[in-house]
A and B are shown apart, each in its own frame.
Chain A
């Protein structure tokens, strides 16, 4: 059974970078697509981007200049980096496994607050 777990700092200062790790067990990240999604305090959900089985990436155009998704296949992990964060980036961040955009397995979520 695939399991995903997000990890990273829960508090980030404005203008700094947010970095999260998604550790995957029970399934190889060299198959399928692996994405990041966030849910804001007002309950809006936003797809942020994905990294594919081959390492190619696709990002939400609204984040394209600030986001990077990378991976370490030897550790079966993939990563999110979001630069120049503001308080508007305060959210719960989820990683998920995807096939053609259908997200069938999710992590528990990591709450990130952007505050000085």
Chain B
């Protein structure tokens, strides 16, 4: 089975900074990746699908990129409300495996 590895596990960022987090697939998955944001006490929310497509209503400061085995989620000008866990997920072919998550904290 394909393993999804996210890095870093956590990061502490100041409001207004630009942040990039990574997701690496153990095999080529093409562009079959989604990204989710989960804030404490809330259910996950879809941010990006097929690696780079922003979901409806997602602010344009969120950008997804990558293909094959290496993927990124970039947040330009981080806002206080962006503090959350972020998960990548393999999509299209099951099993729809999740990465271990990146915790984004604000300084």
Q: In this assembly, does B5 line the interface, its C-beta being within 8 Å of a C-beta of chain A? A: no
Q: How far is the CA of A52 from the CA of B40 in the complex (A)?
A: 30
Chain B: number of interface residues, binned into ranges: 20 to 34
A101 touches B100 (CB 8 A): no
**Chain B residue contacts of A100, Cβ below 8 A:** 91-92
Q: How far is the CA of A66 from the CA of B89 in the complex (A)?
A: 23
Q: In this assembly, does B97 line the interface, its C-beta being within 8 Å of a C-beta of chain A? A: yes
Q: In this assembly, does B46 line the interface, its C-beta being within 8 Å of a C-beta of chain A? A: yes
B94 touches A101 (CB 8 A): yes
CB distance from B88 to the nearest CB of A (A): 10
Q: How far is the CA of A27 from the CA of B54 in the complex (A)?
A: 23
**Chain B residue contacts of A50, Cβ below 8 A:** 94, 96
Q: How far is the CA of A80 from the CA of B89 in the complex (A)?
A: 21
Q: How far is the CA of A100 from the CA of B90 in the complex (A)?
A: 10
Which B residues have a C-beta under 8 Å from some C-beta of A?
1, 32, 34, 36, 38, 43-46, 49-50, 55, 85, 87, 89-98, 100-101, 103
